[in-house]
Amino acid sequence: MSLDGFGVPSAILVMALATYSMRAGGFWLMALMPRSPRLQRMIEALPGSVVTAAVLPLIVREGPVAALAIAVAGAVMLATRKDLLAVLAGMAVAAIARAAGL
C-alpha cells in the first residue's frame, strides 16, 4: 500500500491537535468558571464516575470473565489495599477463566 507523501504526517498532525485540544481544553475552560462548592463536589465525584462509566459497559460487553476478574480485584484491594496485588489477582482470574473456556 503506498501512501501520499504528506498524508500520514498530516493525519498525525490533525489527530494530535484534536487530542491535545481535549487534554488542554478542559483545563483552560475550567479556569474561566466561577468557583463554587457545588463545582468542587462535581470534581470530587468525577474519578469514580469515569471509572464506572468506562468499566460497567465493558463488563456488559465482555461478559462474565470480565465481571469475575474485576470483582476479584476489587475484593483483593478491599482486603489488602495493595493495587499491584489486586491487578495481578484480577489478571490471573481472567487467564484461568479463559483457559477453562468460560
* 70 to 38, 52, 60, 76, 87: CA distances (angstroms): 31, 12, 12, 10, 9
Residue 102 as a binder of another protein (CB under 8 A): the answer is no
Q: Which of 25, 63, 64, 102 binds another protein (CB under 8 A)?
A: 25
DSSP structural state of residue 2: -
Q: How far is the CB of 17 from another protein (least distance, A)?
A: 7
Q: What residues between 71 and 90 interact with another protein by CB under 8 A?
A: 73-74, 76-78, 81, 83-84, 86-87, 90
Q: How far is the CB of 89 from another protein (least distance, A)?
A: 9
18 class by beta-carbon count within 10 Å (0-12 exposed, 13-18 middle, 19+ buried):
exposed
Q: What residues between 39 and 68 interact with another protein by CB under 8 A?
A: 39-62, 65-66
Residue 100 as a binder of another protein (CB under 8 A): the answer is no
Detail the DSSP E strand segments found in 1-102. none
